Chain A
Amino acid sequence: MRIGSTFAEKMLAMKSGKGKVSAGEFVIAKVDGSLANDVTSPLLIRRFKEMGLEKPYKLPGGFEIYIDHYVPAPTIRAAMEHRNIREFCKRFDIYFSEAGNGGHLRLPIERGHCRPGMLFVGADSHTVLLGAVGAFAAGVGSSEQAYVLYKGDLWFKVPESIKIIVDGKLPEYAMGKDIILKILGDLGETGALYKAVEYTGQAISDLSVDGRIAICGLTLEMGGKIGVIEADEKIVEYVKKKTNKPFEVIKADDDAKYWKTYHYDVSGLEARIATPPRMDMVKDVKEVEGIAINQTYIGSCVNGGLEDMAMAARILQGRKVHPEVRCVVVPQSREIYQNALKEGYIQTLYEAGAMLAPSGCGPCVGGHMGVMAPGEKVVSTGCRNFPGRMGSPEAEIYVASPATAAASAIEGRITDPKKYF
């Protein structure tokens, strides 16, 4: 009897040149595209040299390095590493994106490099977010990325898959981030360990590219190997606007076999917040309302989109950031920044008292641009709240949506955004 294939099984069968593969099998799969950032590239360069490689393998979708974590360079050491990266890229004719252009996970989508049906690996754990456009995208380390630059392929264990069906109509104050925080709280940090997660349902279809990015990106925080939303008409239209390059939409079979299936209805979903020190300690924002904060961060790979800027501006319009709060805002890319300028969002946010930092990862990775002192509290729209992530291990990081961060910035304490709607 024929059993259908999940998205992950189809992709790995196709890329390994096999007719069909099943969960648990090891395969060698062709890699379409790969990316690294300024944090993982220095080690990649070390591995490249150690392996004795003479030139990088030409991947069909390209290999790209983005400087986005430490921008502009905060220390001499970082500046030196950036210089090494620039020289490496120039020497080997590698696609390079300079500091200030934006995040290494947003730009491949924005520039049409990562398209539906592609297999991407990135030297960054949140590479999974590229699944927002229907790609199979997984994080790897620097050595394995160097191997990809040697051979153009990589080993994979075919993962079991989880299907998450999200129906209903999301309330106006809630965002993609709230959906994924709801799921993350239920499944836990190991709920999707080694698994491929497919998201589907009306509430997912309703989401823009920005909302989908937040969902796929945080799949990693449940241990997921990939998080994917099959490309629908909205994505196909988006990708076609960005590039003329061809792509193929891959969909799971209707009779595919899933390890688990979950159903959600997000009508009436409360704004959600991950409380320190874990991403799966998720509560309704109203349960922790009133906790005084020192900083808010609106940006990051998962919440630095135009929709995120629009939401923050909508709430901060005609209001002021609390005098005891630093409100850091980072549009993820130059394009988003420029569109936010055109739409007046930046003007609104600036007038409200926010400070704008150059496109990139911002303070989420704790390098600079707003690190936290011991005992301080931050509401971040970033992707992680581990102790020490944003500076001092004694700082407390609450992760929520841009709506919750903006509302909290105004009040100076954690605030349910509902009251602003």
Chain B
Amino acid sequence: METIKGKVVYKLSDDINTDKILAGRYLVLTGDEELAEHCFEGHIKDWKEKVKKGDLLVAGENFGCGSSREHAPIALKSSGIAAVIAESLGRIFYRNSIAVGLPVIQGPGISKKVEEGDVLEIDLDNGKVTNTRTKEVIHFDPFPDFIQAYLNEGGLSSYVRNRLIKNG
């Protein structure tokens, strides 16, 4: 159904927590753009200049651990990130990312097979990430249908509005 193709803008280390992605002092903000404005502030200096729409983020173990703030995946998505691929993901971050329509993939082995700047192709249906530079492939468990449906609608709130409430 869907293939995501993009450039790996950053390859991050293990245990990147949601306080780093979006600091606690900005939790009073709720808008997509204003959250993007503060993404990784104080941690990745050139984030705003470097990230372009459609870029991919690769990370190590436990990406998005910590706080339940949905602000974190919103900030990533509205910064332009099209998908996150990590060795493993924080539990609530995983749920929140799906809920805001940001595909997040657990691809064990990814950090050893990808460098910053590589272009990856993600096949969501078949659970396959291909590094177009090295042709190496990483497999992941495809999303269950109901999760894919949330992602297809761009997130849980659009899904509820468009698919559930409108159809009674």
Cβ < 8 Å to B, chain A residues 104-135:
122-125, 127
Which applies to chain A's interface (DSSP): helix, strand, loop or mixed?
loop
B161–A52 contact, CB under 8 A?
yes
Stretch at the interface among A38-46, A60-68, A297-305, A403-411: A38-46
Alpha-carbon gap, A70 to B29, bound state (A): 13
> Given A50-B158, A144-B156, do A43 and B30 touch, yes or no (CB 8 Å)?
yes
In the bound complex, how far is the Cα of B87 from the Cα of A267, in angstroms? 38
Contacts of B146 in A (CB 8 A): 26, 155
B42 within 8 A of partner (CB) = yes
Nearest-CB residue, chain B, relative to A76:
B28
**Is A143 an interface position by the 8 A CB rule?**
yes
| Cross-interface CB contact of A81 among B25, B28, B70, cutoff 8 Å | B28
**Quick check: B157 and A146 within 8 Å, CB to CB?**
yes
The chain A residue with its CB closest to the CB of B70 is A141
Tell me the complex Cα distance, A278–B61, Å: 14
A-B contact list, 21 entries, CB within 8 Å: A42-B28, A42-B30, A43-B30, A50-B161, A52-B160, A52-B161, A125-B68, A125-B92, A141-B92, A143-B70, A143-B96, A143-B155, A144-B96, A147-B160, A150-B160, A189-B15, A189-B62, A190-B88, A366-B25, A367-B27, A393-B23
What's the Cα separation between A225 and B19 when bound, in Å?
19
Tell whether A51 pairs with B165 under 8 Å between CB atoms, given A42-B28, A384-B66. Answer: yes
Out of A78, A193, A387, name the residue touching B20 (CB < 8 Å): A387
Q: In the bound complex, do residue B67 and residue A125 qualify as a contact, i.e. CB atoms below 8 Å apart?
A: yes
Q: Of B28, B61, B70, B146, which is in contact with the most chain A CB atoms at under 10 Å from its CB?
A: B28
Q: Write the nearest CB–CB distance from A69 to chain B, whole angstroms.
A: 7
Residue of A nearest to B71 (CB): A43
List B13-36 residues whose CB lies under 8 Å from chain A: 15, 17, 19-20, 23-25, 27-30
Q: How far, in whole Å, are A42 and B65 apart by their CA atoms in the complex?
A: 22
Query: A370 to chain B: which residues have CB within 8 Å?
Result: none
* A residues near B133, Cβ cutoff 8 Å: none
CB distance from A83 to the nearest CB of B (A): 12
A46 cross-chain contacts in B, Cβ below 8 A: 30
Q: Is A194 an interface residue (CB 8 A)?
A: yes
Contacts of A366 in B (CB 8 A): 23-25
Q: Which residues of B contact A384 (CB under 8 A)?
A: 19, 66-67
CA distance A406 to B23 in the complex (A): 28
Interface residues on B, range: 35 or more
Among A47, A77, A127, A147, point to the contact of B28 (Cβ < 8 A).
A77
- Are A388 and B161 in contact, CB atoms less than 8 angstroms apart? no
A144 touches B28 (CB 8 A): no
Residue B100 at the A interface, CB < 8 A? yes
| Bound complex: CA A190 to CA B96 (Å) | 18
The answer to the question of A333 belonging to the interface, with a C-beta cut-off of 8 Å to chain B, is no
Q: Is the pair B91, A193 in contact by a Cβ cutoff of 8 Å?
A: yes
Q: Mark B74-90, 1 if CB is under 8 A from A, else 0.
A: 10000000000000101
CA distance A150 to B157 in the complex (A): 10
Q: Which residues of A contact B161 (CB under 8 A)?
A: 50-52
With a CB–CB cut-off of 8 A, which chain B residues contact A43? 30, 70-71, 74
A304 to chain B, nearest CB (A): 18
Is there contact, CB below 8 Å, between B65 and A223? yes
Decide yes or no whether B69 CB sits under 8 A from chain A: yes
- Please encode chain B, from 83 to 115, with 1 for each CB lying within 8 Å of some chain A CB and 0 for all others: 000001011100110011000000000000000
